[in-house]
């Protein structure tokens, strides 16, 4: 559920005392834009703090109204009223934190640092309000006699648990410390993310000698030249730590010394002893999370987090990860041996290292499957892939996408679409923002500017969703061509977008992606199956110049290579999941003089415990592991591969139906997963769709891990 400083429909009377502010601050009045999207063209940075402060006052008044209600506590006057509370604050927070991720600036970062402790304190004032908790508890204790709908019962259960997990049942003497921890963590996690972005923006590798570009595709060279020219370095080439720059260099550059230089810079983000160093921050975060969990009666932070996930226990997660590790590690070692043979055959007098893996994987791919990533990219032009995504979604769910140029956008590069149902009725608004820039953090994600819900007057509120990526930019000589991984990432994030767009619930706190962390990746990961299926790919994999479909021969090679390098990819990912668990299963805090060494200690402990291969580093190293230190996935990074079991098993349902777009199966998935948000236990929702709990074999087959 969302933190309780969010989500309330604010009565208009609350604005009566701020007439001048209303006229000047677009947040303090109803939006008059098409479909009620945020008026981005009117929003200025100076609007955020006063609007947030006013909205917190409004929220406090609404909480006071719930607490002081002379009527006995009921579901409607306490639980529903609380869930709808904070609407004004919520709409501002959605805009601000999306800006902080995809359109940030030093000014936005400073505002975020100013707001973090205020919002944390505001949330704690609600979660730790004893009179409010008494009312919630009173409703909870009579839940069996209230004749609630399934969604209402779920909201009551989640509300009560959330308050307990946020310290409401703590003795008063512990609540002040609980508040201090939350406020400090709010600042630390924010600072961690800012440092990670700062490190990326601070680094560049300048290549002056054209001979050092040997092996690189022309598109990569052109992009590096354009980056250099933009920085006043005409005639040179600049490579950055953005994925569209660093990954192709590691895969194609023949210059081993430069590969090592760039790879080491990439894995050492946040670990350079400069102003962006995250080592001490990690130690403090880990200790504070442990202390907070133990205040609540849990032995570790992981135990606290997993209680609310599908997996439920640390033992379940660790045994699951170790089982997969046992399948994947031997295959990764076979892959390493294959690459070492190639190095030796070519007269290389060195052992395979981490900065060699992607390069020699590409070489082996060429030799074994006659595949060239650059050739594949010619068939994945960004707009064509987008149309392929639209085609798949239309076939599955009947949705249509109409570009709207009359809707305000938060950045000139963003594109807005109205999403329509098959009958032409409005479903929601979708923003898409594709390319890297200094104001955008790395990676790809879906978020929202407004969640779907039904307001207290019975009006259906449609969602406003945003999908953000960092795909390769077009160059002067060619359009934006996606790698195979970028293409599947597009489908992945669109699955998250569907989870938000197709939500059909009543209460805001249960809407869309407000589900267990290890369930939220199911809608996204299942979409990757259509992306990779040759029967589907043939309809959108079109050459960007000739518009000819990908030749069957090339498609066959892609299918044949489907399991290639899966040992590496699985081990690299699992290494980070195990690292996450090593951080958050500790039961004793680190000493004060160890805090700046926690990352090193935990890295070494994980490497030694699982006998990690030196040729494969963590997919996300500690000092830039934003998922767990600033992104909400602490003790939950395993969710991606847990959801991999769900998505592989779910896709089997379409295969069993004999039609990848089987209408009945698609409708069942929409009705039982995409529409239901957090209204039921996730396993119950899955079983309603599939008829049984997920099985692991489809995932192992999908990844080629069964021998």
Token match 């299963």: residue?
585
Q: Is 234 left (phi over 0), alpha (psi -120 to 50) or beta?
A: beta
- Give me the pLDDT at residue 23, please: 52
Q: What are 73-105's pLDDT values in tens digits?
A: 999 999 999 999 999 999 999 999 999 999 999
Q: What are 380-430's pLDDT values in tens digits?
A: 999 999 999 999 999 999 999 999 999 999 999 999 999 999 999 999 999
- Strands, DSSP E only, in 2-127? none
Q: Counting every residue, how long is the chain?
A: 707
Could you say which of 303, 418, 493, 615 is catalytic? 493
Name the CATH topology of 12-169.
Answer: 1.10.1370
* SS3 labels along 236-262: CEEECCCHHHHHHHHHHCCCHHHHHHH
In Å, what is the CA distance from 147 to each residue of 143, 492, 508, 699?
8, 39, 21, 41
Task: Give percent of the chain above pLDDT 90.
Answer: 91
* In contact, 354 and 615? CB cutoff 8 Å: yes
* In contact, 431 and 447? CB cutoff 8 Å: no
CATH 1.10.1370.40 domain residues, the chain? 12-169, 373-552+642-707
**Confidence class for position 372, pLDDT limits 50, 70, 90:** confident
Is the confidence at residue 5, as pLDDT, over 70?
A: no
Q: What is the mean pLDDT of residues 573-578?
A: 98
Is the confidence at residue 106, as pLDDT, over 70?
A: yes
Burial 303-340 (b: 16+ CB within 10 A, else e): bbbbebbbbeebeebbebbeebbebbbebbeebbebbb
Tell me whether strands 415-420 and 400-403 are parallel, antiparallel or unpaired: antiparallel
* String of DSSP letters for 108-156: HHHHHHHHHHHHHHHHHHHHT-HHHHHHHHHHHHTGGGS---HHHHHHH
Q: Considering the entire predicted model, what is its pTM?
A: 0.90
- Give me the pLDDT at residue 432, please: 98
- Give me the pLDDT at residue 704, please: 83
Q: Which two tokens stand for residue 649?
A: 């098993």
Mapped onto helix, strand or coil, the DSSP state of residue 63 is helix
Q: Distance (Å, rounded) from C-alpha 624 to C-alpha 638?
A: 17
**Confidence class for position 658, pLDDT limits 50, 70, 90:** very high
- Give me the pLDDT at residue 457, please: 96
Q: What are 553-570's pLDDT values in tens digits?
A: 999 999 888 889 999 999
Show the CA angle centred on residue 298, arms to residues 579 and 132, nearest 5°: 120
More confident residue, 12 or 324: 324
CA dihedral 453, 451, 486, 481 (to 10 degrees): 100
Task: Give percent of the chain above pLDDT 70.
Answer: 97
Q: What is the mean pLDDT of residues 321-341?
A: 95
Token match 């076939």: residue?
395
Is the confidence at residue 543, as pLDDT, over 90?
A: yes
Is the confidence at residue 598, as pLDDT, over 90?
A: yes
CATH, domain range 373-552+642-707: 1.10.1370.40
Is the confidence at residue 108, as pLDDT, over 70?
A: yes
Is the confidence at residue 13, as pLDDT, over 70?
A: no
CATH 1.10.1370.10 domain residues, the chain? 301-371+565-637
Mapped onto helix, strand or coil, the DSSP state of residue 228 is helix
Residues contacting 470, CB < 8 A, separation 6+: 242, 243, 244, 434, 435, 436, 440, 442, 443, 444
Is the confidence at residue 126, as pLDDT, over 90?
A: yes
Q: What are 27-81's pLDDT values in tens digits?
A: 999 999 999 999 999 999 999 999 999 999 999 999 999 999 999 999 999 999 9
CATH, domain range 301-371+565-637: 1.10.1370.10
Burial 431-457 (b: 16+ CB within 10 A, else e): bbbbbbeebbbbbbbbbbbbbbbeeee
Token match 């924010």: residue?
190
Is the confidence at residue 14, as pLDDT, over 80?
A: no
Q: What are 431-446's pLDDT values in tens digits?
A: 999 999 999 998 999 9
Q: Distance (Å, rounded) from C-alpha 201 to C-alpha 217?
A: 24
In Å, what is the CA distance from 349 to each residue of 264, 340, 343?
21, 10, 8
433 DSSP β-pair partners: 468
Q: What is the mean pLDDT of residues 318-347?
A: 95
Q: What are 461-473's pLDDT values in tens digits?
A: 999 999 999 998 9
Token match 């200025």: residue?
44
Long-range contacts (CB closer than 8 Å, 24 or more residues apart) made by 271-274? 271/599, 271/621, 271/622, 271/623, 271/624, 272/199, 274/199, 274/202
The verdict on whether 553 is a catalytic residue reads no
* In contact, 418 and 435? CB cutoff 8 Å: no
With residue 684 as reference, give the H or E element that holds it: helix 682-690
Show the CA angle centred on residue 463, arms to residues 499 and 140, nearest 5°: 75
* SS3 labels along 443-504: CCEEEEEECCEECCCCCEECCEEEEECCCCCCCCCCCCECCHHHHHHHHHHHHHHHHHHCCC
- Give me the pLDDT at residue 390, please: 98
Helices (H), 166-274: 172-202, 218-230, 243-252, 256-267
Q: What is the mean pLDDT of residues 101-122?
A: 95
Identify the CA nearest to 222 among candidates 248, 192, 258. 248
- Average pLDDT for the chain: 94
Q: What is the mean pLDDT of residues 133-159?
A: 97
Q: What are 281-295's pLDDT values in tens digits?
A: 999 999 999 999 999
């Amino acid at each position: 559920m969302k933190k309780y400083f969010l989500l309330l429909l604010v009565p208009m009377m609350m604005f009566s005392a701020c007439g001048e502010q209303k006229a000047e601050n677009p947040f303090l009045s109803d939006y008059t834009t098409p479909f009620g999207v945020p008026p981005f063209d009117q929003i200025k940075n100076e609007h955020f703090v006063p609007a947030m402060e006013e909205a917190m006052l409004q929220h406090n008044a609404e909480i006071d109204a719930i607490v002081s209600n002379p009527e006995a506590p009921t579901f409607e006057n306490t639980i529903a009223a609380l869930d709808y509370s904070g609407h004004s604050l919520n709409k501002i927070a959605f805009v601000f934190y999306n800006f902080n991720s995809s359109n940030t600036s030093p000014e936005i970062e400073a505002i975020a640092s100013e707001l973090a402790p205020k919002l944390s304190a505001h949330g704690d004032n609600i979660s730790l309000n004893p009179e409010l908790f008494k009312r919630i508890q009173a409703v909870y204790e009579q839940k069996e006699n209230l004749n609630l709908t399934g969604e209402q019962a779920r909201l009551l259960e989640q509300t009560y648990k959330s308050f307990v997990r946020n310290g409401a049942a703590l003795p008063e003497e512990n609540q002040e410390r609980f508040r201090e921890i939350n406020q400090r963590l709010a600042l630390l996690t924010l600072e961690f993310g800012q440092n990670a972005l700062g490190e990326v923006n601070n680094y560049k590798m300048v290549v002056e000698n054209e001979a050092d570009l040997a092996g690189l595709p022309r598109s990569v060279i052109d992009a590096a030249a354009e980056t250099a020219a933009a920085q006043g370095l005409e005639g040179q080439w600049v490579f950055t730590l953005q994925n569209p720059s660093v990954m192709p260099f590691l895969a194609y550059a023949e210059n081993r010394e430069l590969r090592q230089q760039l790879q080491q810079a990439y894995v050492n983000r946040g670990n350079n002893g400069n102003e962006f160093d995250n080592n001490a921050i990690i130690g403090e975060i880990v200790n504070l999370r442990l202390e907070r969990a133990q205040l609540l009666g849990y032995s570790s932070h992981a135990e606290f987090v997993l209680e609310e996930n599908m997996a439920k226990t640390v033992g379940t997660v660790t045994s699951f990860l170790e089982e997969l590790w046992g399948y994947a590690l031997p295959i990764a070692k076979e892959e390493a041996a294959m690459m070492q043979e190639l190095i030796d055959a070519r007269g290389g007098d060195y052992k395979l290292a981490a900065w060699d893996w992607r390069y020699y994987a590409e070489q082996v791919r060429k030799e074994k499957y006659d595949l060239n990533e650059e050739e594949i990219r010619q068939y994945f032009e960004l707009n064509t892939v987008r149309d392929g995504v639209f085609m798949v979604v239309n076939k599955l769910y009947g949705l249509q996408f109409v570009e709207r140029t009359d809707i305000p956008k938060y950045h000139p590069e963003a594109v807005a679409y109205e999403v329509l149902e098959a009958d032409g009725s409005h479903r929601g608004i979708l923003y898409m923002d594709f390319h890297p820039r200094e104001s955008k953090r790395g990676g790809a994600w879906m978020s929202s500017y407004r969640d779907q819900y039904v307001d207290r007057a019975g009006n259906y509120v449609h969602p406003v969703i945003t999908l953000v990526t960092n795909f390769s930019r077009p160059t002067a000589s060619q359009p934006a061509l996606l790698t195979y991984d970028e293409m599947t990432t597009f489908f992945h994030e669109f699955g998250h977008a569907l989870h938000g767009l197709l939500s059909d619930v009543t209460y805001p706190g249960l809407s869309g992606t407000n589900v267990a962390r290890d369930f939220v990746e199911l809608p996204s990961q299942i979409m990757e199956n259509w992306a990779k299926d040759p029967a589907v790919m043939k309809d959108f994999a079109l050459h960007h110049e000739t518009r000819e479909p990908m030749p069957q021969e090339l498609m066959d090679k892609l299918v044949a290579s489907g399991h290639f390098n899966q040992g590496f990819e699985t081990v690299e990912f699992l290494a980070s999941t195990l690292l996450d668990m090593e951080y958050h299963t500790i039961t004793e805090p680190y000493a004060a003089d160890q805090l700046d060494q926690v990352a090193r200690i935990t890295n070494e402990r994980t490497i030694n415990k699982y006998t990690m291969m030196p040729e494969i580093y963590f997919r996300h190293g500690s000092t830039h592991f934003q998922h767990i230190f600033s992104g909400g996935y602490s003790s939950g990074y395993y969710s991606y591969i847990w959801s991999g079991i769900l998505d592989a098993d779910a896709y089997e349902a379409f295969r069993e139906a004999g039609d990848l777009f089987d209408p009945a199966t698609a409708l069942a998935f929409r009705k039982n997963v995409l529409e239901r948000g957090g209204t039921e236990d996730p396993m119950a929702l899955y079983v309603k769709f599939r008829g049984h709990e997920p099985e692991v074999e489809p995932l192992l087959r999908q990844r080629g891990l069964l021998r």
